[in-house]
Amino acid sequence: QLVADPERGHVFTQRLLHARGREETMFLGAGTMAPLIRALVPDVEIVSRDRLSTLSYAGSKKLTRLPRRSAVVAFSTEQVYAIAELIRRQRGGAAVVMGSLSPRTRNAQVELFQSGEVDFLVATDAIGMGLNMDVDHVAFAGLRKFDGRRTRWLHATEVGQIAGRAGRHLRDGTFGVTGEALELDPDLVEQVVEHRFDPVEGAEWRNARLDFDTLNDLLRSLVVTPGVRGLNLTAPALDETLLRRLIKDEEVARVGRSRGAIMRLWEACQLPDFQKTTLDEHGRLAKEIFQALTGRRGRLTEDWVAPRFAELDRDDGQIDQLSARLSGVRTLSYIANRPDWLDQAQGWRDRTKTLEERLSDVLHERLTARFVDRRTTALMQALNVRGDAVAQVEDETGEVIVEGHAVGHLTGIHFQIDKGSSALEDRALRHAARQAVTPEIAKRLGRLAAEPDEAFSVTPDGAVLWRGVQAGVITGGEPFTPRIRLLGDLGAVAARERATKRLEAWLAGEAGRALRPLRRLKTAIENGTLKGLPRGIAYRLVEAGGVLDRREVERDLAVLSQVERRTLKEFGIRLGAHSVWQPALLKDRARTTAQAFLSREPFRPRSHGLSILPEPPPSARLLSAFGLRAVGRFAAPVELLEALSEARGKDGRLSDTALRDLGVTAEEVKALFAGLRTVRAQRPDLPGRAPRPIKDSPFAALAALTAPQPAPEPTRRKRPRRKAAR
């Protein structure tokens, strides 16, 4: 049926009419050609073979909802690339087939689809001829194509030819539309489904017996009419158009007068335009070849072909650059396969063939790299076909390899999956990774639950380590009753619970050892060993995390007996000038453990000296974990505050040497002492005495008020006493 093609039909018609084998000639085509072949070749025998599978119309589907083993057909390179890119992101990847690809590249892309490495194929109408593939569904992304002259709607036979790629042998197939393509007309669908098309009524024809006596004779022989019903004179093809253009060139016309020169000119005009250049550019190349063939040497020299070959002998660049370079190589390959055109033709044939194969392979790799996520497709293929995936974990690096592709790293019991480039890849990675590493994680969880205490450690930021690798994180609880969250989510629930309980048991024991003074104090409070004022002071010290501002318990300290003071000292409590604390808690191990339980607070002070308090200020327990106290705007080390108190002279000042030794400035010291001002503690009132007035009591203001004086009584004048009468 290609005899009806406007551009190349005359070539196929020539073969149909004149190409014959020694014993038998077989032509393969559609049933629509039967009437025309009978008319052109009366003694032909036609054998029909019915389609064994059913082809049905599936309507419109989104690109992301197309079934596996689908071919999407578009009619421009840009659209093919756009669709392939979308399928890569959403479905893992697609093979690409276009007429502009070299046969080697096209076959490699087809094999990519046939092998099952990808489940989708994006192609131009090149899929309709010469390719037999296991396609279950054909989706048209468009129904209009540019045929070299104009953009037109697809003919029914073209739709049928492309849709017929779906299904094979006894396996049924479907076809439909996708993307922005309109639904197919019901009549057209019926034609395709029932394989009922109008017969081909005419074949394109051009005279093959050309007259090379003169240029005019050649032109006349090209337009000879066939004179046979069913044959139509074809429109001027590229070679004829190029010929009519070149004979207007004075240099060509001057040389092309002899029969041999005219034959050479016609041969040059038949050079295929693999590069799809403009008519002017292609004409210049044909003219160069003609002038070389009719020149003094009568052929193209190595000086002509070598620079062109060297320019193409590169495999860098993107897909479009490689495609253009490959088209240029195919042009040189065509020239090299004309022995009478080129010096050392055999050598150049070999070189152009090698270069074409190399560029074809590189182009295939570039297409695959751009439009196929090989890692995702390999994982999906393994899971879809076998239901599992071959996996291994590298002992040294912890890298997890599934189906030959790295999918992440297993560190301890935590699997860090690689980030996929698409949602589809993320899903495939998660699914494959779970199957791959879950058995290994189960083994590691079992080993962790049985490990001795020496295998574990904790960091100040709350990470619980198993043999130097993080296995969990502290999420809450008190130091002696911690709560730990195990990293990751893989592994059986029971195994994870056993591992979690093992870590919590170890951490509780480690906290008891590292914070032994604090735990001992807490136990004494709970079992009643401490009583009275020491018990209250100890309780407040435990609540504060081991460091307490002395001002908070100054009233209690003022009335402690010597026995009570010794009791506090026995529990490792030091009563300093400004603080009450347990010095044993300032050791590195104790501080690391205490900080681990408070790692969710963001405060991280300097390793030594004063630190500025942030807003809002950190909790007292967090400051205690670092051996600090809040003093004004500073977080100050407890030992520094005591050293400042001891270094003060009788006049209350510090010498420059003392400031330098303590690592503070005079301004900082002034601010610290301002924040450390204390109120002298008052002894309690003695029994039987009136209590002392409290100055900061709200009733103290009443003392300033003057009681109102009663109104003076009116004075009475005394009456003089009367003298008694004598």
**pLDDT, tens digit, 9 for 90 and up, residues 10-45:** 999 999 999 999 999 999 888 899 999 999 998 899
pTM over 0.85: no
Q: What is the pLDDT of residues 275-326, one digit of tens each?
A: 888 899 999 999 999 999 998 889 999 999 999 999 999 999 899 999 999 9
Identify the pLDDT of residue 709: 63
CB within 8 A of 171, min separation 6: which ones? 53, 134, 136
Q: Which of 521, 509, 578 is nearest to 546 (CA)?
A: 521
Regarding beta strands 405-411 and 414-417, do their DSSP bridges make them parallel or antiparallel, or are they unpaired? antiparallel
Is the predicted pLDDT of residue 243 greater than 50, yes or no? Answer: yes
For residue 260, the SS3 value is helix
Identify the pLDDT of residue 682: 47
End-to-end CA distance of the chain: give it in Å, rounded. Answer: 180
**Residues 104-113, mean pLDDT to the nearest whole number:** 94
The per-residue DSSP string of 208-245 comes to: SS---SSHHHHHHHHT----STTEEEPPP-HHHHHHHH
Q: How confident is the model at residue 379 (pLDDT cuts 50, 70, 90)?
A: low
Q: How confident is the model at residue 679 (pLDDT cuts 50, 70, 90)?
A: very low
For residue 139, the SS3 value is strand
Distance CA 287, CA 395 (A): 67
Helices (H), strands (E): how many in the chain? Answer: 26, 24
**Residues 580-588, mean pLDDT to the nearest whole number:** 90
**Residues 528-552, mean pLDDT to the nearest whole number:** 90
Least confident of 6-15, 423-432, 494-503: 423-432
Supply angle C-alpha 456, 601, 625, rounded to 5. Answer: 65
**Whether the Cβ atoms of residue 437 and residue 393 lie closer than 8 Å to each other:** yes
Distance CA 92, CA 84 (A): 10
Q: With the CA atoms of 510, 511, 516 and 521 taken in that order, what torsion angle do they form, in degrees rounded to the nearest 10? A: -150
Only one residue has tokens 């039987």, namely 688
Is the predicted pLDDT of residue 423 greater than 80, yes or no? Answer: no
The average confidence (pLDDT) of the chain is: 86
Amino acid identity of residue 591, one-letter, is: R
Q: Where are the domains of the chain?
A: 1-51+198-235, 56-194, 236-369, 391-494, 515-675
CB within 8 A of 211, min separation 6: which ones? 217, 218, 220, 221
Least confident of 211-215, 496-500, 571-575, 706-710: 706-710
Percentage above 90 pLDDT, the chain = 49
Q: Which of 603, 589, 593, 596 is nearest to 473 (CA)?
A: 596
State the CB neighbour count (10 A cutoff) for residue 363.
25
Q: How confident is the model at residue 692 (pLDDT cuts 50, 70, 90)?
A: low
Distance CA 375, CA 380 (A): 9
Distance CA 590, CA 516 (A): 9
Is the predicted pLDDT of residue 685 greater than 60, yes or no? Answer: no
Please tell me which residue, 553 or 385, carries the higher pLDDT value.
553
Of 113-117, 605-609, 669-673, the range with the highest mean pLDDT is: 113-117
Least confident of 224-228, 245-249, 433-437, 553-557: 433-437
Is the predicted pLDDT of residue 95 greater than 70, yes or no? Answer: yes
Please tell me which residue, 549 or 723, carries the higher pLDDT value.
549
Q: How confident is the model at residue 640 (pLDDT cuts 50, 70, 90)?
A: confident
What b/e sequence results for 682-717 when a residue is b if at least 16 CB atoms lie within 10 Å of its CB, and e otherwise? eeeeeeeeeeeeeeeeeeeeeeeeeeeeeeeeeeee
Residue 102: exposed, middle, or buried by beta-carbon count in 10 A (0-12, 13-18, 19+)? buried
Of 29-33, 109-113, 486-490, the range with the highest mean pLDDT is: 109-113
> What's the CATH number for 56-194?
3.40.50.300
Q: How confident is the model at residue 623 (pLDDT cuts 50, 70, 90)?
A: confident
Identify the pLDDT of residue 621: 86
Least confident of 3-7, 382-386, 624-628, 637-641: 382-386
Q: Which of 119, 121, 92, 116 is nearest to 106 (CA)?
A: 121
Is the predicted pLDDT of residue 662 greater than 90, yes or no? Answer: no
Is the predicted pLDDT of residue 698 greater than 60, yes or no? Answer: no
**Residues 565-594, mean pLDDT to the nearest whole number:** 90
Distance CA 270, CA 276 (A): 14
Distance CA 365, CA 442 (A): 39
Half-sphere exposure of 633 (CA within 13 A, CB side): 6
For residue 635, the SS3 value is strand
Least confident of 76-85, 329-338, 467-476, 699-708: 699-708
Phi-psi region of 621 (alpha: psi -120 to 50; beta: other; left: phi over 0): alpha
Is the predicted pLDDT of residue 725 greater than 70, yes or no? Answer: no
Please tell me which residue, 726 or 11, carries the higher pLDDT value.
11
Q: What is the pLDDT of residues 451-463, one digit of tens each?
A: 999 999 999 989 9
**Whether the Cβ atoms of residue 352 and residue 99 lie closer than 8 Å to each other:** no
For residue 723, the SS3 value is coil
Q: How confident is the model at residue 73 (pLDDT cuts 50, 70, 90)?
A: very high
Is the predicted pLDDT of residue 668 greater than 80, yes or no? Answer: yes
For residue 693, the SS3 value is coil
